[in-house]
Structure 1
Amino acid sequence: MPLNFDLSPEQLRSYQGTNPRPADFDGYWEKALAELDATEPQVETRPAEFSAPFARCEDLEFTGVGGVRVHARLARPLADADGSAVLFFHGYNGRSTPWTELLPYVARGQTVAAMDLRGQGWGATGTDWTVSTQLLRGLDEGADQLHMRHAYLDTVRLARTVMDLPGVDPDRVAVTGGSQGGGLSLACAALEPRIALAAVIFPFLSDYQRAWEMALGEAPYQEITTWFRKRDPLHRRREEIFTRLGYIDIQHLAPRVRARVDWTVALEDVVCPPSTQFAAYNKLTGTKSLREYPDFGHEDLPGIEDTLYTVLHTL
Structure 2
Amino acid sequence: MRGPVPDSDPSLDQLQRYAPTVVEPDDFDQFWRDTLAAAATPQVLVEVRPEPTDLRLVDSWDVTFAGFGGDPVRAWYTRPAGVRTPLPAVVEYAGYGRGRGLPHERLTWPVAGYAHLLMDNRGQAGQYGSGDTPDRHGAPGGPWPATWGILDPRDYHYRRLITDAVRAVDAARALPGVDPSRVAVAGNSQGGGLALAVSGLVGDLAALMTTAPFLCDVQRAIGSTDASPYGEIARYLAVHREAEEAVRRTLSYVDGVSFARRATAPAHFGIGLRDDVCPPSTGFAAYNQYGAATGRPLPPEREMHVYPFNGHEGGEAVHVRRQLRWLGAVLGRD
TM-score, normalised with respect to structure 2: 0.84
Per-residue deviation, 1:160? 0.8
Pair 1:49–1:300, CA change in 2 (3 A): farther
Measured in 1, the distance between the counterparts of 2:143 and 2:305 equals 29
Look up the equivalent residue of 1:219 and give its one-letter code.
S
Aligned to 1:270: 276
Pair 1:34–1:113, CA change in 2 (3 A): same
Per-residue deviation, 1:213? 2.1
Q: Which moved more, 1:117-126 or 1:261-270?
A: 117-126
Look up the equivalent residue of 1:202 and give its one-letter code.
A
Look up the equivalent residue of 2:204 and give its one-letter code.
R
Contact 1:155 1:184 in 2 (8 A): yes
Give the percent of matched residue pairs that are identical in Structure 1 and Structure 2: 33
Measured in 2, the distance between the counterparts of 1:126 and 1:244 equals 19
Asked whether 1:124 is paired with 2:146, we answer no
Question: Match for 1:222 among 227, 231, 236?
Answer: 231
Aligned to 1:112: 116
Aligned to 2:17: 14
Q: Which moved more, 1:46-55 or 1:57-66?
A: 46-55
Aligned to 2:217: 207
Asked whether 1:304 is paired with 2:319, we answer yes
Q: Summarize deviations over 1:182-229 as a string: whole Å, max 9, x none.
A: 111111222122211111111111111101222x32111001211112
Look up the equivalent residue of 1:79 and give its one-letter code.
V
Per-residue deviation, 1:3? 6.3
Contact 1:72 1:123 in 2 (8 A): no
Per-residue deviation, 1:237? 4.3
Measured in 2, the distance between the counterparts of 1:136 and 1:304 equals 31
Measured in 2, the distance between the counterparts of 1:19 and 1:91 equals 24
Measured in 2, the distance between the counterparts of 1:12 and 1:126 equals 37
Q: Which moved more, 1:160-169 or 1:22-31?
A: 160-169
Q: Summarize deviations over 1:54-84 as a string: whole Å, max 9, x none.
A: 3221110112123422110111232154520
Measured in 2, the distance between the counterparts of 1:243 and 1:62 equals 30
Aligned CA-pair RMSD = 2.4
Aligned to 2:162: 152
Measured in 2, the distance between the counterparts of 1:128 and 1:116 equals 16
Contact 2:191 2:213 in 1 (8 A): yes
Pair 1:136–1:82, CA change in 2 (3 A): same
Unaligned runs of 5+ in 2: 126-130, 292-299
Look up the equivalent residue of 2:207 and give its one-letter code.
L
Q: Which moved more, 1:185-194 or 1:79-88?
A: 79-88
Measured in 2, the distance between the counterparts of 1:11 and 1:196 equals 30
Question: Match for 2:145 among 131, 134, 140?
Answer: 134
Aligned to 2:294: none
Aligned to 1:180: 190
Q: Is the partner of 1:159 in helix, strand or coil?
A: helix
Q: Which moved more, 1:13-22 or 1:253-262?
A: 13-22
- Paired residues in the alignment total 308
Look up the equivalent residue of 1:220 and give its one-letter code.
P
Aligned to 1:79: 83
Q: Summarize deviations over 1:211-260 as a string: whole Å, max 9, x none.
A: 1222x32111001211112212xxx4434321221101111111221111
Measured in 1, the distance between the counterparts of 2:200 and 2:290 equals 10
Q: Which moved more, 1:19-28 or 1:217-226?
A: 19-28
Question: Match for 2:61 among 40, 58, 63?
Answer: 58
Contact 1:86 1:176 in 2 (8 A): yes
Look up the equivalent residue of 1:272 and give its one-letter code.
C
Measured in 1, the distance between the counterparts of 2:86 and 2:43 equals 29
Asked whether 1:255 is paired with 2:261, we answer yes
Contact 2:211 2:314 in 1 (8 A): no
